[in-house]
């Protein structure tokens, strides 16, 4: 019985064929972009959602053949009814797979949870939607945990859909430097950052979700209550519809970004150090600490 029709390839898959396809595609992506080395210590960023749980199991399967070591890193965003469901799920997987788990939270690192920020946003006191804080703080926190774990590389579960959205968002925000810093190989490492790799780069989000479902892997299925406030939310639906009508469109966005990096990447990246944490940034403060101080200033002046 078929479980999946891959529109861009015009092919039906049985369960076994589909699971093999995801695992082989991930391995090929890792090899194509030289993402991992045989002696890496890999910090796998796990939120508890379907994509990151799929990544954990696919990497475990692939990396058993090598000398690599896998650890899990997890950041609690502090979103009631959403973030609080993940720690137990992740701890169960860590125990089952025998991986060490490193955890922290936004509250611990920045003094605020995303619920705190969302409350200010909904009162009209904060200019940016919760996702802007969540994205920046998560990036910082994952790098912090990967460093703490002594990882040589960090793997995240970003899919082709995530990449295409990020590229378009950076275009819509006229943010060329960000677009150029957003690289998916280890060949352009940024000193101070644990290199990030994206083994699901060439898989659709619906494919990683189906993998988790077919393997019956426990995961956090709750949607984030703040997702709908973000630009990414609308764009996600738009790109999804466009991909349905024009299969291969997301791959074209990926290739466009690759070409851009090849042509202009090296020249435009100029980074200094954040005065708070020393992490690389083009400004005085890294974006994570800029946002923390921004919230501090609002909380101080709140009536």
**Binding positions for ligand FES, rule: CB under 6 A:** 114, 130-131, 134, 224, 226-227, 230
Q: Note the Cα 297 to chain centre separation in Å.
A: 29
Minimum distance, C-beta of residue 7 to ligand FES, in the bound complex (Å): 26
State in angstroms the smallest separation of the CB of 296 from ligand FES: 20
Of the pair 134, 179, the CB lying nearest ligand FES is at 134
Strand 280-281 to 272-273 pairing: antiparallel
Residue 229 beta carbon to ligand FES: minimum distance, rounded to whole angstroms = 8
Q: Which is nearer to ligand FES, 227 or 277 (CB)?
A: 227
- Give 18 or 82: the residue with its C-beta nearer to ligand FES: 82
Beta bridge partners of 196: 154
Closer CB to ligand FES, 136 or 202, in the complex: 136
CB 68 within 8 A of CB 39: yes
Contact 72, 100 (CB under 8 A): yes
Q: Looking at beta carbons only, is 134 or 155 nearer to ligand FES?
A: 134
Contact 102, 145 (CB under 8 A): yes
Q: Which residues contact 26 (CB under 8 A, 6 or more apart)?
A: 58, 59, 62, 199, 200, 203
List the beta bridge partners of residue 75: 104
What 3-state DSSP class applies to 197?
A: strand
Pairwise CA distance, residues 178 & 182, whole Å = 6
CB of 267 to ligand FES, least distance (A): 32
- Find the shortest distance in angstroms from Cβ 170 to ligand FES: 17
Q: How far is the CB of 132 from ligand FES (least distance, A)?
A: 8
Nearer to ligand FES, 198 or 226 (CB): 226
Q: Which of 166, 156, 179 is nearest to 59 (CA)?
A: 156
Residue 191, classed as helix, strand or coil, is coil
């Amino acid at each position: 019985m078929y479980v999946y029709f891959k529109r861009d390839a015009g092919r039906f898959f049985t369960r076994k064929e589909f699971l093999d396809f995801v695992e082989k595609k991930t391995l090929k992506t890792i090899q194509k972009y030289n993402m991992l080395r045989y002696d890496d210590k890999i910090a796998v960023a796990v939120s508890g959602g379907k994509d990151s749980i799929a990544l954990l199991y696919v990497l475990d399967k692939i990396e058993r053949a090598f000398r690599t070591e896998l650890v899990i890193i997890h950041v609690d965003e502090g979103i009631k009814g959403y973030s609080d469901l993940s720690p137990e799920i992740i701890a169960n997987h860590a125990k089952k797979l025998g991986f060490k788990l490193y955890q922290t939270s936004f509250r611990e690192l920045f003094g605020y949870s995303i619920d705190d920020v969302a409350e200010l946003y909904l009162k009209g006191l904060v200019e940016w939607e919760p996702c802007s804080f969540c994205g920046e703080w998560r990036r910082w926190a994952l790098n912090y945990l990967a460093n703490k774990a002594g990882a040589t590389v960090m793997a995240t579960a970003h899919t082709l859909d995530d990449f295409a959205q990020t590229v378009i968002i950076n275009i819509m925000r006229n943010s060329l430097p960000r677009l150029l810093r957003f690289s998916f190989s280890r060949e352009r490492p940024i000193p101070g950052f644990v290199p990030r790799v994206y083994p699901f780069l060439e898989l659709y989000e619906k494919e990683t979700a189906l993998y988790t479902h077919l393997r019956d892997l426990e995961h956090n299925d709750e949607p984030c209550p703040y997702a709908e406030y973000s630009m990414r939310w609308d764009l996600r639906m738009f790109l999804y519809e466009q991909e349905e009508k024009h299969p291969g469109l997301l791959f074209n966005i990926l290739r466009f970004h690759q070409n851009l990096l090849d042509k202009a990447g090296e020249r435009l990246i100029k980074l200094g150090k954040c005065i708070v944490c020393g992490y690389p940034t083009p400004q005085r403060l890294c974006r994570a600490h800029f946002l923390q101080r921004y919230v501090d200033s609002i909380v101080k002046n709140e009536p």
